[in-house]
Amino acid sequence: MDESGLGQIDALDESVPPASLWREAGRKLVRRPSFIVAAVMILIVVAVTCFPGLFASGDPNSGCFLASRFGGPSAGHPLGFDQQGCDIYTRIIHGARPSVLVGALTMLTVLLLGGTVGALAGWRGGWLDAILSRLGDIFYAIPTVLAALVFLNSQKDRSGVVMVVLVIAAFAWPQMARITRGAVLAVKNADFVTAARALGVSNRRILVSHVLPNAAAPMIVTATVSLGTYIVLEATLSFLGLGLPLTMHSWGSQISAAQGLIRTHPEQLLWPSAALALTVLAFIMLGDAVRDALDPKARR
């Protein structure tokens, strides 16, 4: 066989992802120190989010005594007390649940909405692709934070978790739609898709069973990195007084309450800010590690 024929065979082999793609990615991930560190940090955050009572026995809504106001660390209170005499450590532990919950639910909503729109646009093409793409461009041009501020400011009371999730997802889905559309366009003309069509497999089954699994890598990377962004968005909205209710003690509301004490008691602002920053950093590190492991150029 001549060199041109060998080149065509190599091109066909590269057009179809290997069956062990995820296994190879897993092997690469476990050898990356950044992934191990990020995974451990995320496991701790998840454990604190799901079982805050295991890490802090106190109640963030009670046990506040003005006599302990601005008190330093003591037995059972490693971070001291805030301006209301409440245990800072307990509030930070219980503040992980609303912040991470909003981020995770927003990520799932964006993945579902943006993934569906992007998959339909890339798979169908034509007029449907044009309409969905222009619709995505309109929403993409609107800053998510500004849109959320305008909408939530029109509400009489502070919004709950569901409202904050829906507002953020309503203006954050275009990025996921673009990523999904590009991935589907890159896969839908591959040889294994053509072979499935030749065998009489329905378009719906081809899309669900063949195209989307092979286009999932960029979607997973985007979702992982975006999760940290959505946690920051929730903190921003709560900091501005338009996010979650004060009774939920999210990190954003704790930072807002301590902003006026930055000169006299900077530790009041330091601890919730550190919890927020480390959580976001963990998801960004995880997303970078997953991206490098799933990068086709890196695999070659």
Helix 88-124 to helix 267-294 angle (10° resolution) is 30
Query: What's the confidence (pLDDT) of residue 297?
Result: 53
Query: What's the confidence (pLDDT) of residue 231?
Result: 93
Query: What's the confidence (pLDDT) of residue 202?
Result: 80
Please check whether residue 58 is in contact with residue 90, taking contact to mean a CB–CB distance below 8 angstroms: yes
Chain mean position to CA 19: 27
The model's pTM:
0.83
Ordered structural domains, the chain, with CATH: 20-299 (1.10.3720.10)
What DSSP element (H or E) covers 203? helix 203-206
H helices of 72-215, where? 88-124, 126-140, 144-153, 161-187, 191-198, 203-206, 212-214
Query: What's the confidence (pLDDT) of residue 157?
Result: 65
Write out the chain's pLDDT in tens, 300 residues: 444 444 444 444 444 444 466 677 778 788 888 889 999 999 999 999 999 888 887 777 776 777 778 887 887 788 888 888 888 888 899 989 999 999 999 999 999 999 999 989 988 888 998 999 999 999 888 888 888 888 888 876 666 888 899 999 999 999 999 999 988 888 887 887 888 778 887 878 888 887 888 788 888 888 988 998 999 999 999 888 888 887 888 899 889 888 888 888 888 899 999 999 999 999 989 888 888 877 655 444
